[in-house]
Amino acid sequence: MNEQTTLYNNFNIKGIACTKPSPWKKFHNIYLLLMTVPIFLGTSYVAAKIGMRDFLPLNLVILRFVIASLVFTLILLLKKGTSCIDKKDIPQFFLLGFLAITSFFYIHYTGLQYTTSTNAGLIMATTPVFAALFCIITKKEKVTTRSRLGISIAFFGVLLVISQGEFGSIFHQKTLLGDGLLVLNALVWAWFTLKGKTVLEKYSPFIAMAYIHIFGTILLLPFAIVPTVLAETTLLQQLPTVSRATLLASAYLAIFCSVYSYFIWYLGIAKIGAVKTAIFSYFNPIMATLAGIMIFDDKLTLSIVLGGLFVIIGVYITNQKNAISLGNVLSSRKI
């Protein structure tokens, strides 16, 4: 994330013990840096579509995360002693890598082929709502009136976006396949959010995400050289024929949407606290919508505007302290 579309929403890190926010004059630079995160995450959908002009979805995933993992590895080496993990946790990291990287982004990029950047950004914004539902199903949280309200509002917003306001013809929409895959995508990320509890309690979020990227990439590497039903043409076969724009899009996704965004996000949490940092996550679907309109001429209909508002309001209500508080499920540490 999502592309995760929002890092705060996906990990719901309200439970982080943060230092007392400092005056604006002291930390004005971190506010400016945090403003760049939704720009990169919001435009990641557009960058992925550009990358898939030459690459098959799986091959774009592989190249993106090979680059990102190399950068993460370099950062971990520079951190030295503070970046080690226990050997007994390696199987858990492989599982999380499969959920968050290998499977998530294959589904994500495949879905993007059949829908718009605008729809993708708005649907992925519902990830914390699905995480809240998983909490209810697994009885990790009590169901409150506010949580039911937030979940209902967010789902209504998604239906409004997918159906374009015509609920009776929802299964005949051109973007239905892509939208359906992105809903599945949100479910996968929500499940990863809950499964990641153990490592995110034990390690700092940035260190944990670095290793999740690396182990997820290891699982992808065989697909780079062996043709499969997921990609009949391998990355090694496609790489010599791709355009410069595709390579730049891949590097953009790896460096700015993965490494940079995670680093700045958790730096923001350390500097100004989780609550203030969380505010910036609500700009992600807005940036995705603007990028889709400006670059791919996505249509901004009244249904999309209203649906987007319902999604953002529903997610906000769901994440409130008195509703479903995933901070109890996914407590995280500072950098």
Q: Strand, coil or helix: what is 217?
A: helix
What does the DSSP 8-state code read for residue 54? T
List all residues 6 or more positions away from 263 whose beta carbon is below 8 Å from its beta carbon: 75, 206
Give me the amino acid identity at 102. T
d(CA 12, CA 71): 25
**Would you say 214 and 65 are in contact if contact means Cβ atoms under 8 Å apart?**
no
Cα 218 to chain centroid, rounded: 20
Return the top range by mean pLDDT from 9-13, 102-106, 331-335.
102-106
Return the top range by mean pLDDT from 66-70, 111-115, 315-319.
66-70
Per-residue pLDDT tens over the stretch 129-159: 888 788 777 766 666 788 788 888 988 888 8
pLDDT range class, residue 306, cuts 50, 70, 90: very high
pLDDT at 140: 66
- Residue 190 or 140, more confident: 190
Tell me which H or E stretch contains 151. helix 145-163
pLDDT at 275: 62
Which residue matches tokens 């987007």? 308
Instruction: Please tell me the number of Cα atoms within 13 Å of 292 on its side-chain side.
Output: 25
Bin 236: left if φ > 0, else alpha if -120 < ψ < 50, else beta: alpha
Lowest mean pLDDT among 95-104, 108-117, 155-164: 155-164
Rounded to the nearest integer, the mean pLDDT of the chain is: 82
Closest CA to 47 of 191, 249, 199: 249
Per-residue pLDDT tens over the stretch 227-250: 999 999 999 999 999 999 999 999
